[in-house]
Amino acid sequence: MGIFDKLLGEFVDVIEWTDDSSDTMVYRFERYGNEIKYGAMLTVRESQTAVLVSEGRVADVYEPGLYQLETRNMPVLTTLESWPHGFSSPFKAEVYFFNMRRFTDLKWGTKNPIMLRDKEFGPLRLRAFGTYSIRIKDPLVFIKEIVGTDGHFQTGEISDQLRNLIVARFAGIIGESGIPILDLAANYETLSNFITQKISPEFAAYGLDVLQLMVENISLPPEVEAALDKRTSMGIIGDLGRYTQFQTAEAIEAAAKNPSGGANEGMGMGMGFAVAREMAQAFSAQTSGQASIKPPPLPSSAIYYAAIGGQQQGPFDRSVVEQKIKTGEINRTTLLWHADLAEWTPAEKIAELSAAFATVPPPLPNA
């Protein structure tokens, strides 16, 4: 600045800031030599907070309103400065304006895929992105921890650090949640709220407040998405034989509508033979009747566990248990269990084993 700027600064006695940008968080009011006239008017608008810094220390904080910078409304600054001229001469101080409004539509996303294990598909790589909004919660913490002496601080100067915090917490939460991949879309809101709660203390350490974080999309690698689409298509097709018949019928109808030459006639005959073969196979399957019907598998016998000598033994099938009954290794009071029993039961009370005990004498009466 030259002498003209110095002279102009002597006449400027209004300190204010009107923001015409959408991403400026902190602005330092520029004055020649940081000199402010005694009695200057400080205008702090709504959604703003002004901070006076003298000799590197925060002197006073001003909420929205109109202030005349005099001794009576600058008690902290008065104790920091020496006023040899009765506090009527210009004084040196820096005025920082903090934009307290919301900063919305800030982007976050994963630079590299996140590795996790899904119960259905096994190891997978995921990418995710979304938006979040913040605002300055504590100007004093924000200027000490982040801004420093930056005279024009914008959201882009801190967005990378905030994005890294979000991605780190997202990776941990999605890995511990155990939510199946196919159910993630139904849990976007739950994930968003949970991540917001987890990162709020870390944002507060910077003097910031995270207001809303949104998970907009979680995607799989293109090759995995293609395989998943094929799997979905197969599920929609259902009966492959009926689908083949439908496709053949559609092709014949299309050929019939097309004016045919000799080659097309040959193609139509081939399609006709294919359909005839399909119909013959279907008719043969229907007329075969019971020959094509297979009986259901034999019911499997119960698998038993026995409490012998105070220890659990087994598993045994029914034939083994009946053999142990004959040899006396399992008696009438021996506790047995299988999947259809609610609890351990004495062997003699199990209906299917009653025939085995018919040939085994009861215990001798007590002497």
CA angle 256, 262, 263 (to 5 degrees): 80
> Which amino acid type is present at position 315?
P
Coil, strand, or helix at residue 112? Answer: coil
Which pLDDT score is estimated for 367?
Answer: 45
pLDDT means per 10 residues, the chain with 367 residues, are: 48 79 90 74 93 84 88 55 50 88 92 84 87 94 90 91 90 82 84 90 94 89 78 66 69 69 52 57 53 57 86 88 88 88 88 80 68
Which pLDDT score is estimated for 319?
Answer: 87
> Helical H runs in 96-187?
139-142, 159-177
Give per-residue pLDDT as tens, 128-155.
Answer: 999 999 999 999 999 999 998 888 999 9
Token couple for 182: 């196919």
Cis peptide before 315 (omega within 30 of 0): yes
Distance CA(162)–CA(165), nearest Å, equals: 5
Which pLDDT score is estimated for 263?
Answer: 47
Whether 53 contacts 76, CB under 8 Å: no
Which pLDDT score is estimated for 75?
Answer: 54
Nearby residues of 278 by Cβ (< 8 Å), 6 or more positions away: 244, 245, 248
* Residue-by-residue DSSP string for 63-97: -SEEEE-SGGG-HHHHHHS--TTTT-S-EE-EEEE
Dihedral sign of CA atoms 156, 160, 161, 162 in order:
positive
Give per-residue pLDDT as tens, 229-265.
Answer: 777 776 666 666 666 766 677 777 777 676 655 445 5
